[in-house]
Amino acid sequence: MSHWGFPKPRLERGMEPWRPNPRNPMDRIYPKTFCFNFRNLLYANGRKLCYLCFQVEREDDFSYNDSDRGVFRNKVHPWARCHAEQCFLSWFRDQYPYRDEYYNVTWFLSWSPCPTCAEEVVEFLEEYRNLTLSIFTSRLYYFWHPNYQEGLCKLWDAGVQLDIMSYDDFKHCWDNFVYNKGMRFQRRNLLKDYDFLAAELQEILR
């Protein structure tokens, strides 16, 4: 863990030669898991996992159902670690093999993509040229590091919408990706460092 409270970037090493087998995502996560892992924080001690909540809208009126929605998190494998983004890409290629169809994909991430995942997402978008991707992230992963800034810029240049999760995004996730047992969404300091992170992201992409 770095002095900033971020998971160390060495987790990327060794990922390139290995690709995960597609697997089914989780339906939802528990409230404590959501509130702990998705809080907008500059210093994020103890948050070593990345969660990815997604929804896939297809061409037919851009509607989606429960089968087009779910949650991935980092997958640990004996030979390599697979980030949540890589789990989604592998799953998507298996579920939606037709490259010429139109898709609208939205991600809600607890950490922004690392450089390796950013590169793989750009390659993925070159395969699915009729797919649009929007990424709303709770926190910026090593945002002061040039390689990580470059990865975000590559996503932006590839047409990916990038933004920091707002109140509406948190509420949407609470309603659709959390076992909330009918409880209404409450802010719970989830947007503590939103203004700083939003400004930092805009500066990176400028």
pLDDT for 24 equals 82
Q: Annotated catalytic residue: which of 16, 57, 85, 200?
A: 85
Q: Indicate if 127 belongs to the active site.
A: no
- The pLDDT of 89-114, averaged and rounded, is 93
Q: Could you give all domains of the chain from N- to C-terminal order, each with its CATH number?
A: 31-59+67-205 (3.40.140.10)
Q: How many CA atoms lie within 13 A of 108 on its CB side?
A: 25
Work out the pLDDT band at 62, boundaries 50, 70, 90: low
Taking the CA atoms of the chain, what radius of gyration do you get in angstroms?
A: 16
- The pLDDT of 116-124, averaged and rounded, is 97
Condensed to tens digits (0 to 9), the pLDDT of residues 16-43 reads 334 545 568 999 999 999 999 999 988 7
- Distance between CA atoms of residues 186 and 119, nearest Å: 35
| Measured CA distances, 193 to 44, 117, 166 (Å) | 11, 24, 11
